[in-house]
Amino acid sequence: MAEQGTISTVVWGTGNMGRAAIRAIDAHPGLELAAVLVANPDKVGRDAGELAGLDRALGVLATDDVDGVLASKPVAIAYMASGDIRPDDAIADVCRALRTGAVLVTPAIYPLYDPTHAPAEVIDPVRAAIAEGGGTLFVSGVDPGWGNDILPVLLTGVSSTIDQVRCQEIFDYSTYDQPDSVRYLVGMGQPMDYEPMMVAPTVPTMVWGGQVRLIARALGVELDEIRETLERRPLDETVENVMGTFEAGTQGGLRFEVQGIVDDEPVIVIEHITRIHPSVAPDWPSPADGGAGAHTVIIEGSPRITLSLEAEEEGGNRAAGGNATAAGRLVNAIPWLRDADPGVYDALDVPLAPGAGKLPSSGKQATA
């Protein structure tokens, strides 16, 4: 049972995002980890602290009893199960949880990053579940997510003039231990005539177009259209990493843009530069510090602003660091969402919560 004044919170899924969410909830002074839901039978009965990679037990054992956990009426649920290759199942799970009246945060449903433009087959069942149970939903992450919605919008607030807003994710995916996603969704290690699902026509707009529209809405820009560009490069040599062997001649890198167009010019751009090894496409941009990954925002205008952000977690892993910031954005939003009216919220609605209570304190009251 949650301590008085804390918000009982469930983590549903313990993959890369779920581990980060458990750590974020454990560290949050206003939240209490109430349960952990898993699908893998090998994880049932294991302590949440072990699953999250903490050096201590949390006293919460993982379970696969979804009905039992939802019947306990948790105040909040961090739904961290993947929606990449099971979008219909993810939507069904989210609706099921919303019918209990819970606050639900998740990165799993891409069309709901910008719910005002979500297709009816996605948004209608979600709104029906909220009408039935009174739940509250916020969908976000890092990319798509805060790295290409509130962060660039914040930087435009110190600009005098703006010609273009560009958000880049530049990553070496060899540290991204999700072989199914990397090989089949992104296409790394596949023949060059293979069409990766992530960059099939219209898919990048489905995933990242919402971020382009959110930035445009924040800046009062009416877009004429959204366009996509794509470039792919092969591996020159065979490489090995935690996901296995990637053969020479197969896809080793891809670069794509989702562009918000005004008067035939790209004024808002979400760009991905993805490699499976640092040797691929040396002429493409790389992280400013030479590391394995970064999220960069470039505001072309006066002044010209470039911000490169690198996050590390789990022993310096930047993919894990990005996941941790995504979990942080979602988990830290729970108290605000708990006090909000039932509904579906986006990144422009939900304020970025300061890390109050997370710095070491001597017990003295803060002064103005």
pLDDT at 2: 54
Sign of CA dihedral 326, 332, 338, 342: negative
Please indicate, yes or no, whether residues 177 and 307 belong to a single structural domain of this protein.
yes
Asked, for residue 57, whether it belongs to a domain, the answer is yes
Residues 319, 321, 322, 324, CA torsion sign: positive
Instruction: Decide if pLDDT at 234 tops 50.
Output: yes
Residue 361 has pLDDT above 90, yes or no: no
- Mean pLDDT along residues 159-174: 96
pLDDT mean over 313-332: 92
Percent share of the chain, pLDDT over 70: 97
Cα 74 versus chain centre, distance:
23
In a shared domain, residues 288 and 248: yes
Q: Say if 322 falls within a structural domain.
A: no
Instruction: Please indicate, yes or no, whether residues 298 and 169 belong to a single structural domain of this protein.
Output: yes
pLDDT 10s digits, 180-201: 889 999 999 999 999 999 999 9
What lies within 8 Å, CB to CB, of 297 at 6+ separation is 147, 148, 151, 152, 155, 165, 166, 167, 168, 305, 306, 307, 309
pLDDT surpasses 60 at 364: no
Please give the pLDDT value at position 290: 86
Residue 163 pLDDT grade (very low, low, confident, very high; cuts 50, 70, 90)? very high
Asked if residue 293 and residue 154 are part of one domain, the reply reads: yes
Q: What is the CATH number of the domain that holds 341?
A: 3.40.50.720
Check residue 355 and give its pLDDT. 85
Is residue 76 located within the same domain as residue 220?
no
Specify the 3-state DSSP secondary structure of 348: coil
- The pLDDT value given to residue 289: 86
**Cα–Cα dist 151/146, whole Å:** 6
In the predicted model, is pLDDT for residue 358 greater than 90? no
Mean pLDDT, residues 344-352 taken together: 97
Clarify whether residues 179 and 265 are in a common domain.
yes
Q: How far apart are CA 67 and CA 71, in angstroms?
A: 6
Q: Are residues 273 and 136 in the same domain?
A: no
pLDDT above 90 covers a percentage of the chain that reads: 87
CA separation for the pair 179, 346 (Å, rounded): 30
Distance CA 325, CA 314 (A): 13
Distance CA 241, CA 249 (A): 17
Domain assignment present for 326: no
Domain match, 54 and 166 both: no
pLDDT tens for each residue of 267-300: 999 999 999 999 999 999 999 888 889 999 999 9
Does 359 reside within a domain?
no
Average pLDDT on 163-172 reads 97
- The answer as to whether 33 is a domain residue is yes
Tell me: pLDDT of 140 over 50: yes
Are 219 and 341 contained in the same domain?
no
For residue 303, whether the previous peptide bond is cis, meaning omega lies within 30 degrees of 0, is yes
The pLDDT assigned to 37 comes to 98
For residue 368, is pLDDT > 80? Answer: no
> Domain for residue 320, yes or no?
no
Residue 315 has pLDDT above 60, yes or no: yes
Arithmetic mean of pLDDT, 132-138: 97
Mean pLDDT over all residues of the chain? Answer: 94
pLDDT on residue 367: 47
- The pLDDT of residue 141 is above 50: yes
Answer yes or no: is 353 within a domain: no
Q: Which domain holds residue 249?
A: 146-312
- Are 12 and 73 in a shared domain? yes
Higher pLDDT, 363 or 59: 59
| 110 close to 210: Cβ distance less than 8 angstroms | yes
267 φ, ψ to 5°? -100, -20
Strands 265-275 and 161-172: parallel
Over range 17-26, report the average pLDDT: 97
Same domain, 133 and 172: no
| Domains contained in the chain, number | 2
| Residue 117 sits in the same domain as residue 199 | no
User: Is residue 104 within 8 Å of 81, Cβ to Cβ?
Assistant: no
202 in a domain, yes or no? Answer: yes
